[in-house]
Structure 1
Amino acid sequence: MARKITLDFLKTEAASGAVLGLAALAALIIANSPLSGTYFAWLKSEHVLQVGPLLLELSVTEWIKEGLMAVFFLVVGLEIKYEILRGELSDPKKLATPVLAALGGMVAPAAVYLVVSNAMAGPTGGWPIPLATDIAFALAVFAVAARSLPSSLRVFLLTLAIVDDLGAIALIAALFSSGVVWQPLVWIVGLLLVGGVMSRFRKIPSPFWVLGFALIWYLTVLSGLSTSLTAVAFAAIVPVSERRRDGQSPLREAMHDLHPYVAYLVLPLFAFAKAGVSFGGLSLEQAFAPLVIGVALGLFVGKQIGVFGAAWLASALKIGRRPTGSTWLELYGVSLLCGVGFTMSLFIGILAFPGAIDSPEQVEVKLGVLGGSFLSAVAGALVLAVAGRRRKKLAGKLTDTGE
């Protein structure tokens, strides 16, 4: 059952990669067309949500970042919890290599960024940007380029990306949740504790969890805390055990119901809102600014070094081993795909350099993320395609010799 859920997750994420790509391309085209003014004005426009006495007024950008992306982090949190309790992460031996690879894939990009930033006198505050891997885009490229490769590589990539996201969420909580208003935070902690106690009762209906998440999300926005943190915290209290009356697990039910909306609506909307870079008036100096180069090289160079190096070290030290049936060339191709940091990197970029969506820093973040992610996707696809052809050739030779 765990394998089926993992594969369903992979299929949805891979298929949504095409939608993400189209959304990002559409944003780039519109941002450089006569409609650019309308596009950027729409992102800055304020919209009010009022439900009884509850009132919020946020810009479209903020609604997407704090509202829709909270649902994304909820699904990520649910997936992390499920994998730890019932899935691939429940076996420590299977966990070691992708976890160490994920850690290496966070340390090395930060180091590359800081080296470039110091060498070029750039801003050092952008080091968390190239740390994350975009699950949807990476799996989309893998699905196209690695059809003949072992499915264990997909599981490795998914596990690594989940750990990667967990690390990114921890960084967001530690670095970008300043200026917190404590009174709403006290209510949030209290509600999470109540939810944790209630999760032990199997008769609790689904609306309880929906309303609970909505209330905690509202209080989080009022508190100034990152909604990503409380979304993952809420996911941790959603029960994984089946209800007695219908045999359904609230956690699996939520994953099943929310994941398509996240894959085909939330993430594409975020991509459409954040990938729009206007190249009008863009100078060569800005295109090769320290922030752009640092982020791009952090994703393209740092990720492959960190992920592949840590995986090799884990194998050499007998702490872990390669995914079943895979080769080092195939694992290197997957390591390259980990440099596709699109969605999460853009999200962290917003937090690292707060300001207008068309500010110089935001433009440079987008250029760096798009450049590094594109290079990683192309290089990873090429390496995996070569590895696939080698595997087919070897299989053909074995067939010809009768082995």
Structure 2
Amino acid sequence: MSAGEKTGSVWHQPMPVWAVAFASVVAFMGIGLVDPILPAIADQLHATPAESELLFTSYLVITGIMMLFTSFISSRIGAKRTLLIGLALILVFAFLCAMSGSVDAVIGFRAGWGLGNALFISTALATIVGAAAGGSANAIMLYEAALGLGLAIGPLVGGLLGSVTWRAPFFGVTTLMAVAFIAIAVLLRVPAGSPQPAPVRLTAAFRALGDPALGLLAVAAVFYNISFFVLLAYSPFPLGFSALGIGFTFFGWGLGLAITSIWGAPLLLRFVKRTTAIVIVLPLIAIDLLIAGLLVDSKPALVACIVVGGLLYGFMNTILTETVMEATEIPRPIASSAYSGVRFLGGAAAPPIAALLAEEWGHTAPYAFGTAAALVAALVVFSGRRLLRRADGRQESAAEQAEAVAIGDAD
């Protein structure tokens, strides 16, 4: 029995697990890293807000498309190779972003970054679970901590480094990813004679979306992610803060998201069914966005709405993904990749649409758009509750619930 198993501590893990956990922190930093530097990029590269928002769109479009195929790829080349290819792509394209001289180049290189991120995050959880000591629940808790830390500190690091130059956060990711690549290449070893994963069909994710329950949840996720990225990607512009100020604001957002996704959602689900929780929390998100739009000229009010939004989105990330995982008999990796792919594609549309709405009707319009999207997502789930009875009726083990929490944060 390993040390981790003897003590039962999540912190007693072999070095390969720590290597993947460290890489997970850096990978999830990339989601919020650009938030604080969007205004600086728009100003210094002579781009409109709508053009600079495409840094999110190109990243999310490619991530979403690739998510539909990652289970096919990793089942054929193995987890370690998939992780290393993903990290290498992030490293290369983050460096190219830092060296770019135009907003179009940064947009294009962020797309390459999204490709690497899809390969990495779709494989990291399974790798940690397979290599960890002390059981799967401890391993998943460690992964939750890693990605929660990444989501929280990404905007903060972006703000700290971005206060020097908008290029600095990209150089920082390049350096950290190089360390993570070397650590995984050296420390993560595949035991001789390990069984090969069963090959997954190329069309598996697309076939999964044909399931009525999963298809309904995918539609809801499109609108949910629109509201998510209205708040995350557009808010730096009406805030009007420096890169450091934006970074601290979204550090609060990320911290709130991590807290409620890891601890808040499981607590809420002790008292209500999953679909009930969804139709409670989504209207609260709509109210938060509506208040943000109405009070957008008040910086303290907008900051408060952003932080409260982080708390609410943390609940939804976990609860919606748990529902996806339990609504059908489709294998979890395939259901997750299908749902995640569609969800990321929905989020990709939100940032440029929000910026265009603001150009036409002012800062309130994007938040009204996000409010409507959250309400549509709630209506979709409410109207299809009969299709989701399986998700409401099944009780999970502690390890299964922890896995759903981790996948929810990853998505």
TM-score (norm 1): 0.28
In terms of fraction of residues, the more helix-rich structure is 2
TM-score (norm 2): 0.27
Structure number with larger C-alpha Rg: 1
